[in-house]
């Protein structure tokens, strides 16, 4: 039955909310979202990633609620920080590898 509250009309419905990561652009890269469950019930869809945000597609990282629907604001921000550090470390690791190859005489650029 519709109820009035503060001049607005709301329809009360039974059921749980569904959350889906807004990751349509990731579909074009070959990253499909997967169902995320809680207590045996699907609560939404998220993109699988490791702790640094790395996905199955090299060079594509995700963070926050795209990777974890349970992440609150603080956890999503923290995941963003970890992913940013991984993004920053990647070219630095390449630079170190190139420097070692240059010193050892096995440059493969």
Please report the pLDDT score of residue 14 as a whole number.
58
Digit-coded pLDDT (tens) for 1-59 = 555 444 455 455 556 666 776 667 888 888 888 888 888 888 888 899 999 999 999 88
Q: How many angstroms separate the CA atoms of 58 and 106, rounded?
A: 24
**3-104 placed in CATH 3.40.50.620:** no
CA atoms within 13 A on the CB side of 48: 8
Residue 84 Cα distances to 6, 26, 90, angstroms: 43, 18, 10
State pTM to two decimals: 0.65
d(CA 82, CA 10) in angstroms, rounded, equals 40
Distance of CA 15 to the CA centre of its chain: 26
């Amino acid at each position: 039955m519709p109820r009035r509250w503060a001049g607005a009309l709301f329809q009360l419905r039974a059921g749980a909310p569904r959350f889906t990561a807004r990751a349509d652009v990731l579909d074009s890269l070959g990253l499909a979202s997967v169902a995320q469950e809680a207590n045996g019930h699907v609560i939404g869809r998220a993109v699988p990633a490791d702790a640094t945000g790395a996905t199955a597609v090299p060079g594509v990282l995700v963070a926050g609620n795209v990777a974890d629907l349970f992440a609150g604001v603080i956890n999503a921000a923290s995941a963003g920080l970890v992913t940013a550090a991984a993004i920053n470390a990647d070219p630095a690791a390449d630079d170190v590898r190139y420097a070692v190859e240059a010193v050892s005489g096995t440059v493969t650029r």
